[in-house]
Amino acid sequence: MSHPFDSLTPDLVLDAVESLGYLSDARVLALNSYENRVYQVGIEGGEPLIAKFYRPQRWSDAAIREEHAFSLELVDCEVPVVAPLSRDGETLFEHGGFRFALFPRRGGRAPEPGNLDQLYRLGGLLGRLHAVGASRPFEHREELTVANFGHDSLSTLLDGGFVPRSLLPAYESVARDLLARLDALFRVTTYRTIRIHGDCHPGNLLCRDETFHIVDLDDCRMGPAVQDLWMMLAGDRQERLAQLAELMDGYQEFHDFDPRQLALIEGLRALRLIHYSAWLARRWDDPAFPPSFPWFGTERYWGEQILTLREQRAALDEEPLRLF
C-alpha cells in the first residue's frame, strides 16, 4: 500500500522551497525525522534552510499556525528558539498537496547528562519558556491528559492487535492497573496547565556557541510545567535531587514553580512509555517505520515493556522528589 509521503520526492522538496522565492543549489539532505519529513536544502549564495513537511491529517492548519505563533512569541520575548521563517506574514505553506514550513539551520550539542552547571542554565531557559507559555492558553492544540496519552494509547495497542497474544494478558493487566493509579494521581494532585514544549528531551535543547536554544515545538500542548523538566533528570534518587535543585535555581529566576507538581513525575514517565508504543503502532503503515524499529512487535520488546511498566507502578509508591 502506498503512503502519503511516498510522493514527497527530492524534486518536490526543491520545488516547494523555490516556490517561496529561494534558489536552491539542488542539494537535498534528509534529516533524522519520522513523525514528519525534514530536509536540509542548499541555497545558492546563502546558508542552507531546513524544510519541514508535516504529516498529513495529524494537526489542523490552525494547530500548526498556533505552534508557529508560539515560537514567534518566544522570539519576541528573546527566548532562544528556532522559529519558522515568514513570507508576507505567513509561516505555513502548501505545495504539491503537502503543508510545509522553512526554518533557519541551527545545529548544536545536546546537554551533558548530570552536568549541574548546564542544568542551571537549562532551568533558566525553561523558566523563560514557561513564563511566556503561562501568559495565555492554546486554543487549537490538545492538553496532555491520562485520557489521551494513556487510555487512548492503550486502546490503540489492544484494538490493533499489536501485543503478542502470549503476552497480552500480562501487558493489559499491568497497563490498566497503572492507568487506574494515574487517574487517581492526576485527580488528587494540584497543578496548572500552561503552554509547554511537550517533548522536552535533551535532544531538543541544543548548545551552540555556549548558548542553549530550543528546537522542535511540534508536540507543544497544554500541560503541567513539570512535563518539560523531568526528562532533564537522570541517575539515582540522590543524583536527581541534586540535579533538580540546580534546575529549579535557574528556573525560578524567571518563573514560579509549584512543587506539588513533582508528584506527577513518575506518572508522566509512565504515560510517555505507553504513548510511545502507541505512536509506533499508529505509524506502522508508514514504510519508514518497520525498518527503523524492527524490534517493535517482537515478544522481547513487549516482555521488556511489561517489566518496565511494573517498575513504573512500583515507582508510584516511592516518595516524590522534593525541593529543599
Are residues 185 and 264 in contact, defined by beta-carbon separation less than 8 angstroms?
yes
Measured at the CA of 225, the angle between CA 223 and CA 230, to 5 degrees, comes to: 110
**Residue in the structure block whose three cell numbers are 509508591:** 317
Cell of 153: 494509547
Q: Is there a binding annotation on residue 216?
A: yes
Close Cβ partners of 259 (under 8 Å, ≥ 6 residues apart): 322, 323
Q: How many CB atoms lie within 10 A of CB 121?
A: 19
Among candidate residues 225, 199, 232, the one with its CA nearest the CA of residue 122: 232
Could you please report the per-residue DSSP string of 103-134? EE----BPPPTT-HHHHHHHHHHHHHHHHHHT
Close Cβ partners of 276 (under 8 Å, ≥ 6 residues apart): none
Q: Is there a binding annotation on residue 148?
A: no
Q: How many CB atoms lie within 10 A of CB 7?
A: 11
Among candidate residues 18, 21, 14, 40, the one with its CA nearest the CA of residue 88: 21
Which residues carry out catalysis?
199, 216
| Element of type H or E holding 95 | strand 93-95
- DSSP classification of residue 163: S
Extract the annotated binding site.
Answer: 204, 216
Extract the annotated binding site for Mg(2+).
Answer: 204, 216
